[in-house]
Amino acid sequence: MANQRGDKATNANSNANFIFRNEVSLQLTLNEKEHNYQAFIDAISMNPSLRGGTDLRGAFLKGAYLRKAELKKLDLREVCLSFADLIEANLSETCLVLADLSDACLNLSNLRKAVLKQANLCQANLVGADLNQADLRGANLSKANLVGASLEEANLSGANLCGADLSSTDLRGVNLQNATYNLATRSPESFDLAKAGAFLIGPNMLLAQINLNGVDLSGIDLRGADLRRANLRKTNLRNVNLVAANLSRVNLTGANLTGADLREAIFKKAVYTLNTQFSKDFEPTKLGAYLIAPDVSLVEVNLSDVDLCGANLRGANLSRANLCRTEMRNVDLSKTNLRKTELEAAKLQDADLKDADLTKANLKLVDLSNADLRNVNLTKANLQSANLTGADLRGADMTGACLNQANLSNVDLRDVDLSRADLRGANLKGTDFSHVDCTGVIVDEGGALA
């Protein structure tokens, strides 16, 4: 038998153990379909005070009657409690990560210090609820009723508050960085959501470079919005109205756009990955978007000023591409073809460039601090004024490379070929040249290599 998490069991029936505060243990034999739901409901009806030790992760409890239930400190991640009656329930310090609490009734419930990260609380009733110090990062609170609720010191960074009613809500010390709200959102008269770090979103609004990483925006109206260079990594855009929206240079890594209305939307130089979800038959490449994935061919493409942080481009062909000023922190470019590629002023901190070919590439003003450049080919590359602080260049071929004014402090240069390289004006503090081929290297007049 497999339970709702997909775990295997040895037979068709399962014994569910529920331990109560009076130390009485109840065992219920249930078939697979009823395992999580009926055992939990029967146990609660016999004694509403349930102690930890019960595994209910991913359980299907839609519409459950759990009024005044004692659910403190339970692991209820990914549980479905939509339309459930949880009035005055004690869910303090309970883990509800990715839980579905849409349309649930949580009036006067205790959710103090509960972990509701990325939970779905769309249209939930939370009147008078205690959410002090709760973790609601990335939660969907669209159209939720929070009248009179207490959110003191709660973390709502990246939360969706579109259409939510926060009237008379205690918002002292709340974290609203990168949260979103719209004109239908109601808040206390004395509280400014924008000054607290939240973004006002809606049709035809200027939202360029907005960070909506991981935010649940399902069903929101963003027609005509200017989202140029926005960070929409892992953003839930299901059924969003994006008619005529400007999504140029947007990062859609892992985003979900199924059901979204994308008529007349602009996707020029937007980037997406293999796990980005679009509606069937939608082809973003035809609208100028680029697939970012291992081994792809992006020869001569223009991805300047695009956010590619954390992308996996291992083995890709980016020769002669324009990557000027591109954000590529923590990107995997190992074994990538970057011959004659324009990378001026690109941000490549902590990037993996092992075995990459950067022959004759332009890396002027590039930031390669702490990057992995082992065995990279930088023959005749332009690294003028580049920042290589803390980079690992072991085994690199830098024959004839231009390193004027480059910062090479504390760089690992073991077995590097620097023959005929130009090091004039370079910062070489703490750099060891004892195992480096420096044949014909050019240095400042009167200068010497340590």
- What does the pLDDT read at residue 112? 98
Which helix (H) or strand (E) segment holds residue 17: the answer is strand 13-19
- What does the pLDDT read at residue 209? 92
Contacts 24+ apart (CB under 8 A), 244-251: 248/288, 249/305, 249/306, 249/307, 251/306, 251/307, 251/308, 251/309
Q: Which of 41-45, 119-123, 166-170, 248-252 has the lowest average pLDDT?
A: 41-45
pLDDT per position as a tens digit, 56-65: 788 888 999 9
Contact call for residues 22 and 16 (beta carbons, < 8 A):
no
pLDDT band at 424 (very low <50, low <70, confident <90, very high): very high
Percent of the chain with pLDDT over 90: 76
Average pLDDT for residues 56-76, to the nearest whole number? 89
Mean pLDDT score across all residues of the chain: 87
pLDDT per position as a tens digit, 137-186: 999 999 999 999 999 999 999 999 999 999 999 999 999 999 999 999 99
- What does the pLDDT read at residue 450? 54
- What global pTM score does this model have? 0.76
Distance (Å, whole) CA 396 – CA 417: 6
Q: Which of 10-24, 108-122, 181-195, 382-396 has the lowest average pLDDT?
A: 10-24
Domains of the chain: 1-54 (no CATH), 56-195 (2.160.20.80), 201-282 (2.160.20.80), 292-450 (2.160.20.80)
Q: What per-residue string of b and e applies to 207-228 under the rule 16 or more CB within 10 Å gives b? A: beebbbbbbbbbbbbbbbbbbb
- What does the pLDDT read at residue 59? 85
